[in-house]
Structure 1
Amino acid sequence: MSGNAFFVSTRAARTLFGKATDAQVNKALAIGLTRIGVRIKDAAALEMRSVFDRPTPYTMKALQLKSAEKTHAVPRAFVGFKDKSGSFIANGADAGAIMAGRAHYLRPQVFGGSRPLKALESRLRRAGAMGAGQYALPGWAAKMDAYGNMSKGEIVQVLAYVGGFGEVGGDKNTTAAGKARLRGKGVEYFALKARRGGLGPGIYRRLGRGGQARIQQVLKFIDRTPQYRVLFDFFGVAERTAAAHGEEIMRDALAQVLFTGKG
């Protein structure tokens, strides 16, 4: 997902910059566009804190800026979201085309629609604990963290119990002896892919033994892709910020190039 933070063609820059040389125009464009990108990144971060409920540090760090390069024929700066590996965009690559084609977990918040399959769901499907067409939501008894998300500790515990770590990292799965120890403490997990009696599809925690046992829903399974409404006006924020500050920043960038020679 990407936002073309602010774009000025060389022809438009001629009107703005007057008699500056091509090299000076490109240098000023690179400086100015990058500074506008910084403004947009900061404005987008403020918007995220406003519209998201307790965004995690991971989410807030997803926003990235790719600076414009004066050596490019048409300097461009981009503000977007980095991928899971932490990389953003390769130098010299067509940033717009690459970022536009990337799936990102925040994309549904910007465009609406369905979200990508979560790693938790992929592991549950591979382990046979969840049906191929099912999706997982936190159950009423799920342990939540300070940001309103399901506790990572409980996710790991559930996946380990149902064999969700597969062959790679399989030693993370709970062994038969480990399950026996948990049962000895009165703790057990079980998965239902279809309704059974009063229990809907999901993963449950059984606490206690016999008739005194309590059944708690940890994960709820649904048969449709979770849908999101547009919540984060990413492109609107970028456009408004560029419109409010772009021309002034670009003129200052040209002044820097013409009068100080510094880039």
Structure 2
Amino acid sequence: MLKLDASELGLKAEVIGRAAKQVPFVAAFALTNAIKDGREGERETMRSVFDKPTPYTLNALQVRPATKQNLKAELGFKEGFGGTPAWKYLGPSVAGGQRKRKRFEIALTRAGILRSNEFTVPGRGAQLDSYGNMNRGQIVRILSALGAASDAAQNTIRRPKRSNRKRNLDYFVLRGTRAPDGVYLREGRTVLPILIFVKGMTYSKRFPYYEKARTVIPTAFRKHFRAGWERFVVNDVRRKA
């Protein structure tokens, strides 16, 4: 039988003891970084299933790091911190189901313009940003022109401002014609659809949440544990042996 004592390798017992105490710290380091790799895997999935996802969407997931006292790292949706909670608008794409109403849709419903079973989609004349979302300024102008702004002082349903009259701009609601129901913009002799009213908007499951992370994390944990062990333990033992 071959026995090998640590002292024969020049490793002092107190050094080994210090190394052993570092195991929870290394494990927390590996867990946290593995979860971060999982988050990046989920972002890759977002880029593949969504059309031009916004930075807000890509940053919708947050990491709760592990500590040596609590060896558990978590990956979850951000709560919003005053804005819209991430799950509220990403949930239908994860679990399927009906899309949540947007704030301006709620405002249009309260004003009696949009019916309770209707949603909106951008029309041909809608101003979209680089991510395909409605321009915020145009939404504000629509709500103001239709008397649906939450702040009554912003509502200008009576007449367009003089600067707008010069361009002959006007938003109005059109229903019961051959054209789709919705909000239209009259600009000179041209009429453009801005918001089209549709009944119901159901999402199919597009975002396979956690699936990518589950495949990434086990390998990532082993990689980060080895790196952490080398960085925080082996190098320290070498210095103090």
TM-score normalised by length of structure 2: 0.77
Partner Cα distance (1:84, 1:41) in 2: 18
Asked if the contact 1:161/1:179 (under 8 Å) is kept, the reply is no
Count of paired positions = 219
| Aligned position for 2:7 | none
What secondary structure, in the 3-state scheme, does the structure 1 residue paired with 2:25 have? helix
Aligned to 2:197: 221
Residues 67 and 76 in structure 1, CA contact (< 8 A), matched pair in contact too: yes
2:215 equivalent among 233, 240, 246: 240
> Does the 8 A contact of 2:140 with 2:149 survive in 1?
no
Distance 1:136 1:107 in 2: 19
Residue equivalent to 1:7: none
Answer yes or no: is the 8 Å Cα contact 1:187–1:205 preserved in 2: yes
Q: Percent identity?
A: 32
Report the AA paired with residue 165 of structure 1. Answer: A
1:121 aligns with 2:105: yes
Partner of 1:106: 90
For residue 172 of structure 1, what is the amino acid of its counterpart?
Q
State the 1:236 CA deviation. Answer: 1.0
TM-score of the superposed pair, with normalisation by structure 1: 0.71
Report if the CA contact (8 A) 1:83-1:104 is conserved: no
Distance in 2 of aligned mates of 1:30 and 1:163 = 55
Structure 1 partner of 2:47: 49
Amino acid at match of 1:219: L
Distance 2:208 2:35 in 1: 16
Alpha carbons 1:140, 1:218 under 8 Å: kept: yes
Answer yes or no: is 1:230 the counterpart of 2:205: yes
Q: Who is 1:132 aligned against?
A: 116
Work out the CA distance in 1 between the residues paired with 2:212 and 2:136: 32
- Structure 1 window deviating more from structure 2 (107-116 vs 131-140): it is 107-116
Work out whether residues 65 and 72 of structure 2, in 8 Å CA contact, stay in contact via their aligned partners in 1: yes
Q: 1:202 maps to what in 2?
A: 182
The SS at the match of 1:205 is strand
- 1:22-171 pair list within 5 angstroms: 26-72=24-70, 75-85=71-81, 103-166=87-150, 169-171=151-153
The CA deviation at 1:105 is 0.9
Q: Which has the larger radius of gyration?
A: 2
Q: CA deviation at 1:64?
A: 1.8
Structure 1 partner of 2:173: 191
Gaps of at least 5 residues in structure 1 are: 1-18, 88-98
Shift of 1:144: 1.6
Q: 1:230 to 1:223 in 2, by over 3 A?
A: same
Unmatched 5+ stretches in structure 2: 1-16
